[in-house]
Structure 1
Amino acid sequence: MNKVIFNQHYSRLLFLALATAFVWMQSACKKEVTEGAPVITSVRNYAASPADTLVNDITTGQWVVLIGHNLKNAVQISFNGIPATINSTMFSDTSATVLVPAVIPFPSVSPADLNTIRYVTRQGATTFTFDIVAPPPTITSISNENANEGDSVYIYGLNLFFISELTFAGTSITDYTTAGDGTAIGFVLPALTQGGPVAVSTKSGRATTPFNVNDATTGVLCDFDKINTFSWGTGIDNSSATFPGNRGNYAVLSNDVLPAGDGTWWGWQRSINTNDVQWIPADSLSLPLDDYAIKFEINVPSTWTGTSIYIIKGYSFDYMARYEPWQGANGTVSPFVTKGWRTVTIPLSMFRSNDGKGSAPANLTGLLGATATGAVNIQTKNFSALPSASGLQAAIDNIRVVKIK
């Protein structure tokens, strides 16, 4: 009888041991499958169906979905050797959604990294060969659209490498330097004979600005010379001693350190106010708000870290655009100096309610009114609850509104 009981007890123990071993083996197999080295098998476009198709090549700034196995827990994903930003919530074991870096310095990519996707997890790494192509160039800004012969000019954008042709206002530029990451081109401006766009041709395509440079008439509202609609607020000067590189007359904004909340814009040299002008053609009011921008050239010879410049239309504070180039991200402040004249571009979509911090107008009519006419008011204020960190001395010229799209 004891023998039978012992055998039954032994059998149960043996069964439990075998069951435990089987579960452990299953777990180990599963772990081996799900936590092995990553594998990439294909790449999809990240878009709603039916655009979420497999692709044969990708480009900078493109959202893609990497398809494969063991793709969880990525610690680094690189395209042509350039790390991408990782968002773990967009990963699963079989797919990873990632944004290809916007800037890849194609000319300096090593042959070993060219056309590769490198995927690294805590369990291993893989390199997937895949065509990564440079997209057409884009132009985002120009340091000085109304520069003089002999001035240094910089064109900013993306993919500005492998350049085959560069023109500025119709004049060919053959002597230039490029940033290694393709974000800038620099050159000394030759003599110009006309106004016109900026155009850059590369191996990947061509970019042309929708606006002209070296253009003294298109969209100009006040240049303090031939188109002089200035009314009051400050003095007009043409001296090259304080603000060298000028083209004729300009207006000067100037103030010392301002008390907290000081908005007495009507004080001497605290504002530039024009007569009523036509901001845009009335028949263009149906266009999108961000199709237009207000532009001007500015010269700030000494450190500026506090006073705010803002722009309104027709003395109305319903919407304003604030220009605070010393204001960095997260409230940081960086001293601002121009070292000559620089072009400021403020899209009309940047005009906001609530002292420039609220919502944008619904459309151009909401900002400019039914006729798109009214004064241009460029004024200064200390919006801070503390005294301004600095005063301001700046010259402004060539106030204009032009199409940027």
Structure 2
Amino acid sequence: MNKVTFHQIYRSWPLFVLAMIFTCIQSACKKDVTTGGPEITSVRNYAASPADTLVSTIITGQRVVLIGHNLKDAVQISFNGVPASINSVLFSDTSATVLVPEVIPFPSVPAESLNTIRYVTRQGATTFTFSIAAPPPSITAVSNENAKEGDSVYISGLNLFFISELSFAGTAITHFSEATDGTSVGFVLPALTQSGPVVVNTKSGIATTPYNVNDDKTGVLCNFDDINTFSWGTNTDNSSVAFPGNRGYYAVLKNDVLPAGDGNWWNGGRSINTNDVQWIPTDSLGVSIDDYALKFEINVPAAWSGTSIYVVKGYAFDYLARYEPWQGTNGAVTPFTTKGWHTVTIPLSLFRTNDGKGTAAADLTTLLGATATGAVNIQTKNFSGSPSASGLQAAVDNIRVVKIK
């Protein structure tokens, strides 16, 4: 019996080997299909049908859908060499929805990385050649809208590179320095002759501020000089020693280290209170609350943290806006100073209930009332349960409300 069994096995051995080889081939083929390297075949616009069309060019900050194969388990997706944020919920084997990075430093991108999408999974990687363009520039802030000749000024925004022309209040800026990532451009301010917007002209478009700079009249509620609605509170001064670069008179907010929860804003040096003023024209009450902002220039020569500056209208504390530049994310605190004067912009949508941490007003009428008039009150408080980390000394000037959109 043993001989017969061995003989039968021996004779069937070639068939057994062939069967095993065939099984291995099938297994290998199946693995190649399901776990092979990624492949991108096209790019679609991220939108509901029928707007989810194929695109031939994408721009920074755009959300797109990459179409292809083996796109699951992505570990990195980069555009022009800049990694994008990955959300695994938006991936399948044949598509990946991803946000193109908002900041791509086009001038410093190596030639071999330009117009490329690099896709990496645990199983492999691929590089897809595709047109990636910089959108038109945008301006988000001006470091000092009322700077003086010789002051350093910085324009913040996006895609501020390949600049062909730059002007400030109608005056051409011929010497400037661009950040390589396009988020800022700096220059020394020349002599100015008028008010006007900031205009940045680049290869991809033009950005213009909706408000004027070098302008101490438009929307100004109090500049402590020719528009002086100051009523009571802290002292005013025009000295250029303590606060160099001033434009006439200014108010000085000042307090020592404050005990926990100290909100005695009526104490000496702790508030700026104007007479009733017209915040915005009544015929503008119907526009979006996001369209307007309260602005002022501030000068903080010594490190400041812990004390909060806040703004209310007409001594009504139902809506309040805080200014706490020392307050970082996750509770981190970084002492704040300015190098000279700095423009503060507080959109009216940031006036909120619950000590400035609650909900915004539904509209401008709710916030400002039917006549949009009332005092401007800029005051200080320690909102925390511990003594403030420092005192405060800050000059404030050119309080205004202007359209920012």
Q: Shorter-chain-normalised TM-score: which range?
A: over 0.9
CA gap 1:19/1:371 in 2 versus in 1, 3 angstroms: farther
Matches within 5 A, 1:25-64: 27-64=27-64
State the partner residue of 1:399: 399
**C-alpha distance in structure 1 between counterparts of 2:250 and 2:257, whole Å:** 23
Find the residue that maps to 2:113 and give its secondary structure. Answer: coil
State the partner residue of 2:160: 160
The CA deviation at 1:379 is: 0.4
State the partner residue of 1:233: 233
State the partner residue of 2:320: 320
**C-alpha distance in structure 2 between counterparts of 1:330 and 1:203, whole Å:** 38
- CA deviation vs aligned residue, 1:219-251 (integer Å, no higher than 9, x gap): 000000000000011001011111110000000
Find the residue that maps to 1:367 and give its secondary structure. Answer: helix
The CA deviation at 1:49 is: 1.5
State the partner residue of 2:300: 300
Find the residue that maps to 1:112 and give its secondary structure. Answer: helix
The CA deviation at 1:153 is: 0.4
CA gap 1:29/1:173 in 2 versus in 1, 3 angstroms: same
State the partner residue of 1:169: 169
State the partner residue of 2:261: 261
**C-alpha distance in structure 1 between counterparts of 2:316 and 2:19, whole Å:** 80
- CA deviation vs aligned residue, 1:128-157 (integer Å, no higher than 9, x gap): 000001110000000000000000000000
**C-alpha distance in structure 1 between counterparts of 2:149 and 2:84, whole Å:** 41
- CA deviation vs aligned residue, 1:33-71 (integer Å, no higher than 9, x gap): 121011000000111122111000001000011000011
CA gap 1:21/1:366 in 2 versus in 1, 3 angstroms: farther
State the partner residue of 2:78: 78
AA of the residue aligned to 2:270: R
AA of the residue aligned to 1:240: S
The answer to whether 1:345 aligns with 2:359 is: no
Structure 2: segments with no counterpart, 5+ residues: 1-14
CA gap 1:70/1:380 in 2 versus in 1, 3 angstroms: same
- Give the 4+ runs in structure 1 shifted more than 6 A: 15-24
The CA deviation at 1:25 is: 5.8
**C-alpha distance in structure 2 between counterparts of 1:397 and 1:16, whole Å:** 92
State the partner residue of 1:4: none
**C-alpha distance in structure 1 between counterparts of 2:365 and 2:329, whole Å:** 31
Find the residue that maps to 2:111 and give its secondary structure. Answer: coil
CA gap 1:22/1:364 in 2 versus in 1, 3 angstroms: farther
State the partner residue of 1:383: 383
**C-alpha distance in structure 1 between counterparts of 2:318 and 2:355, whole Å:** 8
Find the residue that maps to 2:112 and give its secondary structure. Answer: coil
The CA deviation at 1:339 is: 1.2
The CA deviation at 1:23 is: 7.6
The answer to whether 1:372 aligns with 2:379 is: no
The CA deviation at 1:358 is: 0.3
The percentage of counterpart residues that share the same residue type is 78
Find the residue that maps to 2:349 and give its secondary structure. Answer: helix
State the partner residue of 2:151: 151
**C-alpha distance in structure 2 between counterparts of 1:28 and 1:224, whole Å:** 81
- CA deviation vs aligned residue, 1:139-182 (integer Å, no higher than 9, x gap): 00000000000000000000001111101000000111110111
AA of the residue aligned to 1:233: G
The CA deviation at 1:393 is: 0.4
Find the residue that maps to 1:31 and give its secondary structure. Answer: helix
**C-alpha distance in structure 2 between counterparts of 1:316 and 1:263, whole Å:** 15
**C-alpha distance in structure 2 between counterparts of 1:308 and 1:189, whole Å:** 31
Find the residue that maps to 1:354 and give its secondary structure. Answer: helix
Give the TM-score taking structure 2 as reference length.
0.95
The CA deviation at 1:24 is: 6.9
Give the TM-score taking structure 1 as reference length.
0.95
AA of the residue aligned to 2:172: S
